[in-house]
Amino acid sequence: MKVIEESAVTAAVRELAMAAACDLEPDTLEALLIARDRESSELARNVLELLLSNSDIASREKIPICQDTGLAVVFVELGREVRVGGDLEAAIQEGVRRGYRDGFLRNSVCDPLTRLNTNDNTPAVVHLELVAGDALTLRFLPKGCGSENMSAMAMLPPSAGKPGIIRYVVEQVVAAGSNPCPPVLVGVGVGGSFEKAAYLAKKSLCRPLGYAHPRSDVADLEAEMLLEINEQGAGVHGLGGVNTALAVHLELFPCHIASLPVAVNIQCHAHRHKEIVL
């Protein structure tokens, strides 16, 4: 059995936290370039140019792309043939603590009632999944709350069907307006239970941009929702144009015959995500 020491996990998460804050992944940069080139509004195109320039400066100077360096969300896939030599949860939290400290990132986590800041951006939200194999995969997703606060969840009647799903998702993105700093990535979770749909919506944001769902009918649904969202014309930062959303990612899970859970989790144009396999 493969053994991964707690210290290795902490070091990896520290690096992920600092890198995610400053360096957009190639998939996000490519999507922004495509959006700029297809943009019909001169004002919106100028804003996209500024966003690309901002990301370039952040990467070169190693300063955060956005002042809101987010609530850290970590998706963990632990192989069944892996043993962590220590406390996995503690290792991740320490990695977040060190990453935000050493990267001089804003501490944005507080008690929900007293509003007292924890002063080290912990605790991170950690999702653990057991998978086959001898690898430990860590996906780091810092979520700023301009976009996170636009999340929504509904328990639709099964009779709503695909039209109801599309209508609900489009309505939520349109209602969000400029708050999530569009162009956005729209994560959608359909099925499961109340909490499972929300988890799927968040996890869908980890899928690289440009990759449709492997199931053709789901991929068609993603494309239809993206088209309808962009046809509404809200555009970049609410300034009009054809780029309200860069992509829609939808994930499914079987649900009860009497329910149709649908969750929407929006990510801003600074789609910060990093991944490492140990």
- Span 39-65, pLDDT tens digits: 999 999 999 999 999 999 999 999 999
pLDDT at 20: 98
Compute the average pLDDT of residues 232-259. Answer: 96
Average pLDDT, the chain: 97
Compute the average pLDDT of residues 180-206. Answer: 97
Q: Hey, how many other C-beta atoms are within 10 angstroms of the C-beta on 62?
A: 13
Compute the average pLDDT of residues 182-200. Answer: 98
Using alpha carbons, list the distances in angstroms from residue 213 to 120, 133, 172, 228, 242.
Answer: 36, 23, 21, 18, 23
**CA atoms of 219 and 238, how far apart (whole Å):** 26
Q: Residue-wise over 190-229: b if at least 16 C-beta within 10 A, else e?
A: bbbeeebbbbbbbbbbbbebeebbeeeebeebbebbbebb
Calculate the CA 71 to chain-centre distance. Answer: 11
Nearest to 139 by CA among 124, 149, 119: 124
Compute the average pLDDT of residues 64-84. Answer: 97
Compute the average pLDDT of residues 184-197. Answer: 98
- Span 8-31, pLDDT tens digits: 999 999 999 999 999 999 999 999
What's this model's pTM, rounded to 2 decimal places?
0.95
Q: Identify the residue whose tokens are 């406390």.
A: 87
Show Cβ contacts of residue 83 under 8 Å, excluding neighbours closer than 6 positions. 1, 2, 3, 4
* 3-state SS class at 129: strand
Q: Identify the residue whose tokens are 């309200």.
A: 244
Compute the average pLDDT of residues 240-247. Answer: 96
pLDDT at 210: 86
Calculate the CA 247 to chain-centre distance. Answer: 12
Residues forming beta bridges with residue 184, ordered by sequence position: 245
* Residue 82 clears pLDDT 90, i.e. is over it: yes
Q: Hey, how many other C-beta atoms are within 10 angstroms of the C-beta on 32?
A: 24
Any idea what the Cα angle at residue 60 is, between residues 268 and 68, rounded to 5°?
A: 30
Compute the average pLDDT of residues 56-84. Answer: 97
Show Cβ contacts of residue 251 under 8 Å, excluding neighbours closer than 6 positions. 187, 188, 189, 190, 200, 201, 203, 204, 213
DSSP, residue by residue, 27-73: HHHHHHHHHHHH---HHHHHHHHHHHHHHHHHHHHT--SSS---EEE
pLDDT at 217: 97
Compute the average pLDDT of residues 104-131. Answer: 98
